[in-house]
Amino acid sequence: MIDVRIVGGGPAGCACALALRKHAPSLSIELVEVSDYTAPRVGETLPPHARGALKHLGVWDAFVAQCHRPSYGTLSAWGSSAPHANDFVFSTSGYGWHLDRAAFDRMLADACVSRGVHLRHPERSRGTRGAGGAPPVPPRSLDYARDDVRFTVDATGASASIARARGAQPQPLDHLVCFGRFFDDSGGDPRTIVEACEDGWWYTAGLPDGRRFAAFMTDADIARERGVWSSIPPLIAPLLKNADGPITARSAESRLLDTVAGDGWLAVGDAASRFDPLSSQGILKALRSGTFAAYAIADLLTNGDDRGLRRYRAFIADEFAAYTQMRTKFYREERRWPESEFWRRRQLSDVAMAVSAAGDSPRTSLRETPV
C-alpha cells in the first residue's frame, strides 16, 4: 500500500513530494511522470521572490548550480505605445530567471528521488510483461487512485485528469490561447518583454540554451477569424529572427476547478487553478500549492485531521479570487482599442467574463499541438 501517489512530476507535483518528505517522513510517496524530462518544454520566467520557495523545499543550491539565464526585469508596452521598464535591481529579492524548463523539472525530480520518493515512468514498462506473463497495462488506462493507495494528488497540469475522473469540472474565465514559437537568440534583450496589440498581446523571453521563445495571446475564435500569428508589434519584432520549429498552440485560459479536493484526492498547480501567463506566476503558484497541499495531506494521513484539507480549499479559492481582481485591473489599463472584441471582453466584470466563457465560444484542445 502506497500512502501518497502524486500523478505528474512537474513543479507542483515535485513540490508536494518534497514537502511531504520534510513534513511527514514516515509516509511512502510515489511520483508518477510519463516523460523522462528530455523533451524540450516551453521556458518560463521565475520571479525574484521564488528563491524563498526554492530554499524552503531545500533545492536552492541545486537550482543555482543549473545556471539558468538571469532576468533583470521586464519591459512592457501596455496601455501606451511607449515602453515601460520594471528593473529587478530595485527589488529586495534580486533578479529573476528565464528557465530551461526541462532541466528545472528534472532537477526537482532528482531531488525527490534523493530523498526517498519512488519515481515511476509508466511508459518505460510498455515492453515488459505483467505478473504471471500477463500483458502490460497501457499507462493511460492505469487507475492511479483506487486499491493500492491511501491518497492521490492530481498534478497533471491543465488536463486535471484525476480531478475530472472524480467529477470535478474547471470553471473558465476566458478562452485565451497561446500561439508560440522558438527562435534563435544571440545577445538579445534578457528581459521579459510584453506588448499589447489590437487582437491580444505578445511576450518574448530569451532562454538559457541560446534560443528565444515568443508567443501571441488571443482568444480562440479571434484566432480563427484573424489568423493564429498576427503581425508582430514593433517592440518585439526586431528580436524574432531565424524561427526554430513550428508554431504551437495551447490553451492558456484562466480557470478554477469547482472543487479542488475530495475523498482521497486533491489537485495542485494548474490542475487546481490556472492563471493568465500575464501574471508570470505559473511556476511559483505551482510550488506554493504543492507545498500547502503536502501539509494538508500529512495532517490527514498521520493525525486523521481533515482541517488542513478545508484550509487548502480556502487557500486555492482565496488565491484565485485575488488573482482575478489583479487580472481585471491590468487588462483594464489597456484602452487603446475600444472596438476590439478581445479587449472589450476583458473590460467586463469578473462575473460577466465567467458567464461569457461558459457559453458556446470555440474551444481549443488542452494538449499542445503544432499549427
Q: What is the pTM of this model?
A: 0.86
216 found inside a domain: no
- Residue 346 confidence (pLDDT) above 80: yes
71-120 pLDDT, tens digit per residue, is 888 899 999 999 999 876 556 667 889 898 999 999 999 999 999 999 99
Task: Please report the pLDDT score of residue 369 as a whole number.
Answer: 35
49 found inside a domain: yes
For residues 29-35, average pLDDT: 96
87 found inside a domain: no
CB hemisphere CA count around 93 (13 angstroms): 16
273 C-beta neighbours (distance < 10 Å), count:
23
- Residue 65 confidence (pLDDT) above 60: yes
127 found inside a domain: yes
Mean pLDDT of the chain: 86
Give the structural domain span for 167: 2-71+96-172+254-320
Confidence band for 127, pLDDT divided at 50, 70 and 90: very low
153 found inside a domain: yes
CA nearest neighbour of 12 among 285, 202, 368:
285
Q: What is the CATH number of the domain that holds 142?
A: 3.50.50.60
- Residue 302 confidence (pLDDT) above 60: yes
Task: Please report the pLDDT score of residue 115 as a whole number.
Answer: 97
7 found inside a domain: yes
In total, how many domains does the chain have?
Answer: 1
Task: Please report the pLDDT score of residue 269 as a whole number.
Answer: 97
Task: Please report the pLDDT score of residue 313 as a whole number.
Answer: 97
57 found inside a domain: yes
Taking a C-beta distance cutoff of 8 angstroms, is the pair 220, 178 a contact? Answer: no
- Residue 265 confidence (pLDDT) above 90: yes
For residues 53-70, average pLDDT: 95
- Residue 360 confidence (pLDDT) above 50: no
Take residue 264 and report the three cell numbers written for it.
Answer: 482521497
For residues 158-175, average pLDDT: 95
For residues 342-361, average pLDDT: 64
241 found inside a domain: no
Cα separation, 173 vs 91, in Å, equals 31
